Amino acid sequence: MWNSIEKISSLDTFFRWTILFFGTAAIFNSNIFFREASLFLSAVLIVLGNRKSQLQKEKNSPRKLTQHQRSILSDSIKKIGISEISVTGLMGDSESHQFAEDLSGFLEELGFSIPENSFSLAQFTKPVFGIEAWAHPDDCETLLKPLMFEFYRAGIHCNAIRNPEVKNGNIQIIVGTKD
């Protein structure tokens, strides 16, 4: 619920008006409920402000695999049975390029067969946001679905795309612009 700056800003405005209402009611009614509600909502505003600051910091910092994400993925992703993985970043987007290199290097460390020159930069006709994992339609249940689950467990949002041009047993990961 508190995962976007826009939602937090809306909640912030709502709570400020509610505190104003409860504070005014507490002055005129001398009712403890209104005072306690104002104090509680003030504490919620502090939490919202902290979360908003955290989200702004994340938005402005480049993506990088954390140690926690690496440990989750390294334990489970090898068991899926992927033959080859290629990673593509967006041409002209240095943040996408940096994260794609980080992900490619990590997968290579895990022992995945990364085809020579598989790391590349590309331009796409439609904008690519976030991360996409492409697989042949026949591999969606056996490769793509388990990969999406492991990315989800590691806190990495990834869109699954069926693409008949990807060879059976292979996965192509596209690192788009930051969401």
In this predicted structure, what is the pLDDT of residue 33? 80
Assign 145 a pLDDT band (cuts: 50, 70, 90): very high
Do 52 and 130 lie in a common domain?
no
Cα(170)–Cα(175) distance, integer angstroms: 16
In this predicted structure, what is the pLDDT of residue 30? 73
Do 102 and 164 lie in a common domain?
yes
Do 81 and 151 lie in a common domain?
yes
Do 84 and 157 lie in a common domain?
yes
Do 114 and 169 lie in a common domain?
yes
Cα(174)–Cα(88) distance, integer angstroms: 5
Do 99 and 167 lie in a common domain?
yes
Assign 120 a pLDDT band (cuts: 50, 70, 90): low
Residue, of 83 and 99, whose pLDDT is higher: 99
Do 12 and 71 lie in a common domain?
no
Last residue of a domain, one of 21, 43, 60: 60
- Backbone φ and ψ of 117, nearest 5°: 60, 25
Last residue of a domain, one of 60, 87, 106: 60
Quote the number of domains for the chain: 2
Do 48 and 75 lie in a common domain?
no
Give the angle 107-110-116 at the CA atoms, nearest 5°.
50
Last residue of a domain, one of 60, 77, 94: 60
The pTM for the full model equals 0.67
Residue with tokens 């699954």: 160
Mean per-residue pLDDT, 65-83: 87
Determine what percent of the chain is predicted with pLDDT higher than 70.
Answer: 91
> Could you list the residue range(s) of the whole structural domain that residue 84 is in?
67-175
